[in-house]
Structure 1
Amino acid sequence: MSAVSPLDYDSLESQGLLRYLNINIPLRNVYDFIELSRNGIDKRALLHLAKTIDFDLSELAHVLHVSERTIQRYELKKKLSTEASAKALQLAKLYARGESIFGDLERFKRWMELPNVALATKRPKELLDTTFGFQLLNEELIRIEHGIFA
């Protein structure tokens, strides 16, 4: 039995996450995610993520809690802070999970844009600026995966 719960680590989601960031390193368990966060992801990976999930720089800055100008000033190989890297990884993991559940990234991106009754009529994308928002979205994805709709 693994010490890492299925909610923390899923091989297919991890592969999707890596594709979203355009990085090629093995992520075998949650500790690899922690290490990647600590080491930081670079601006190039962040921009690849933004392009893949259709985020503009302003939206990305809001989620990462860094200024848009700070992101603009970074060199392509400059690493983000641990906190910003962890948020970017959470974002990539959420979208990978959404793609897996919805069967298509475009369908999941549309879902993220539409007001949702189960989320107090907020657009899911609006909730990405806090850890609690990520948690709520992950819980909603679990309900969708199991066919439980609000």
Structure 2
Amino acid sequence: MSAVTPLEQDGFTNKGLLRYLNIDIPLRNIYDFIELSRNGIDKKSLLHLAKTIGFELKELALILHMSERTLQRYALSKNLGVEASAKVLQLAKLYAKGEAVFGDLPKFKKWMEHPNYALAMKKPKELLDTTFGFQLLNEELVRIEHGIFA
């Protein structure tokens, strides 16, 4: 077994993530994912993601811990910083996974909007401002995928 785990073995939907960001670069393993975070995601890709998953710029600003005005001032070709890029990639990865689990993006988007008993009656979308929130949602998707409901 290789020391570098292919992303597909982690349940990661490489094709879905890249489609959400409208980028065409190979992500063969976690190191490619790290490198993409370090290089930065440009505003154009961020806006494509926002449109695809139905997020307003204000919602993205909260997740990225940036002001909405700062995001507005970015040129389309300007790259976000490492931390913001990593959050964007986490968000795209979460939605790609959610679409795969639910079999349909609109179904997953609806799930993200409704309070969930397994999440202390919080809307899943409300948990996206922390790494722990992303982790919790990913764990919940794994439970749903395996038929374990709270």
Which band: TM-score by shorter chain? Answer: over 0.9
Match of 1:147 in 2: 147
Cα distance in 2 for residues equivalent to 1:59 and 1:138: 19
Gaps of 5+ in 1: none
Q: Is the 1:9–1:30 contact (alpha carbons within 8 Å) kept by the matching residues of 2?
A: no
Match of 1:56 in 2: 56
In angstroms, what is the RMSD of aligned CA positions? 1.5
Match of 2:88 in 1: 88
Q: CA, structure 1 residues 72+26, in 2 after alignment: closer, same or farther (shift >3 Å)?
A: same
Match of 2:97 in 1: 97
Provide the aligned length of Structure 1 versus Structure 2. 149
State the AA in 2 paired with 1:95.
Y
Match of 2:34 in 1: 34
1:137 and 2:137 are equivalent in the alignment = yes
Q: CA, structure 1 residues 80+8, in 2 after alignment: closer, same or farther (shift >3 Å)?
A: farther
**Secondary structure of the equivalent of 1:122?**
coil
**Secondary structure of the equivalent of 2:134?**
helix
Deviations 1:6-43 (A, max 9, x none): 688446x1110000000000000110010000000100
Q: Is the 2:61–2:67 contact (alpha carbons within 8 Å) kept by the matching residues of 1?
A: yes
Cα distance in 1 for residues equivalent to 2:48 and 2:127: 21
Deviations 1:109-139 (A, max 9, x none): 0000000000000000000000000000000
Q: Is the 2:7–2:28 contact (alpha carbons within 8 Å) kept by the matching residues of 1?
A: no
1:108 and 2:104 are equivalent in the alignment = no
Cα distance in 2 for residues equivalent to 1:134 and 1:36: 19
Cα distance in 2 for residues equivalent to 1:33 and 1:133: 20
Query: Identity of aligned pairs, percent?
Result: 74
What TM-score comes out, normalization by structure 1 length?
Answer: 0.95
Gaps of 5+ in 2: none
Cα distance in 2 for residues equivalent to 1:47 and 1:102: 24
State the AA in 2 paired with 1:20.
Y
